[in-house]
Amino acid sequence: MLSYRHAFHAGNHADVLKHLVELQLLDYLNQKDKPYWYIDTHAGAGVYALTEGFAAKNAEYESGIARLWSRTDLPPALAEYVEVVRKLNDHGKLRLYPGSPWFALQRIREQDRLRLYELHPTDAPILFDNFAEQLKQTMIYPEDGFNGIKALLPPPTRRALTLIDPPYEDKRDYQHVVTAMQESLKRFATGVYAIWYPMLSRPEIRTMLDKLKKLPAKGWLHVNLQVQSPSPDGFGMHGSGMFVVNPPWTLHDTLAQLMPYLVKQLGQDAGARFTLEQHSA
């Protein structure tokens, strides 16, 4: 299905959580000089305008990045996340929001590489344009990332962060995530993998998480942020989560400090809460 456009949701609460975790993972990989690859299975357009076009229609960023934009009490990790967004915006006005590959671009070093997949016929050319000056370090594939990563793993660097972030409009994506992880771990068991998912009233989500927790990995971390109570009619997204396979040992403690703050700032009703759990084999 190619109807999904991330621009509708750019900068919302789900993006805050996803990109906060992404930066923590990239910073961890940067602690060693050895190069790594950043692989994105559903890269999107790379950068999104917030005050016009799709993002302005529902203005979801107002319940996400906008709530953090002017705060002076941000914990350090959140302040660093907001600073990446600020670098993209002139004169301190929030007009643009970076996608996952752009966040990665701000963290990778000269020896690191980006490998980006985007199948959407409109977003893929925009992604090429947004990364036209970074093609020395970047390869962009207008293909299905679920299938594409098979050819990239293991990377020659033997270090990588793979972000799996499908739209889940097609319910088969939940099983596609599990299958992709099963195949990826067979090829590259020591890689770091981050899977984003929406919190919806769908049984497929719980099934997917149960299967991810049983993967033959050294460990995993699961965090989600529920910003409101689920709708009585079961419609709409009430939060989002990140499932990290082979997470840094520091990530749990960092998120334990940050998540109460995010619940307070991004929560929309009394149902706002977070879950944080981890497991080591």
Domain that holds residue 263: 6-280
Are 221 and 249 in contact, with CB atoms under 8 Å apart?
no
The per-residue pLDDT for 137 is 92
In a domain, 129, yes or no: yes
Whether 27 is catalytic is no
pLDDT in tens, 114-146: 999 999 988 999 999 999 888 789 999 999 999
Q: Per-residue pLDDT averaged across 44-65, rounded?
A: 82
pLDDT in tens, 170-203: 999 999 999 999 999 999 999 999 999 999 999 9
Residue 2's pLDDT band (cuts 50, 70, 90):
very low
Residue 53's pLDDT band (cuts 50, 70, 90):
low
pLDDT in tens, 58-71: 789 999 999 999 99
In a domain, 1, yes or no: no
Q: What is the pTM of this model?
A: 0.95
**Which phi and psi angles does 223 have, rounded to 5°?**
-135, 140
Residue that wins the pLDDT comparison between 3 and 82 = 82
SS3 43: coil
Chain centroid to Cα 98, Å, comes to: 11
Mean pLDDT of the chain: 93
In a domain, 227, yes or no: yes
Angle at CA of residue 279, ends 277 and 281, nearest 5°: 175
Q: Per-residue pLDDT averaged across 221-236, rounded?
A: 92
The per-residue pLDDT for 3 is 42
Q: What is the 3-state secondary structure (H, E, C) of 172-191?
A: CHHHHHHHHHHHHHHHCCCC
SS3 125: helix
In a domain, 126, yes or no: yes
Specify the number of domains making up the chain: 1
Of residues 40, 112, 123, 165, which has the active-site annotation?
165
CATH of the domain at 138: 3.40.50.150
Residue 4's pLDDT band (cuts 50, 70, 90):
very low
Q: Per-residue pLDDT averaged across 34-51, rounded?
A: 95
In a domain, 147, yes or no: yes
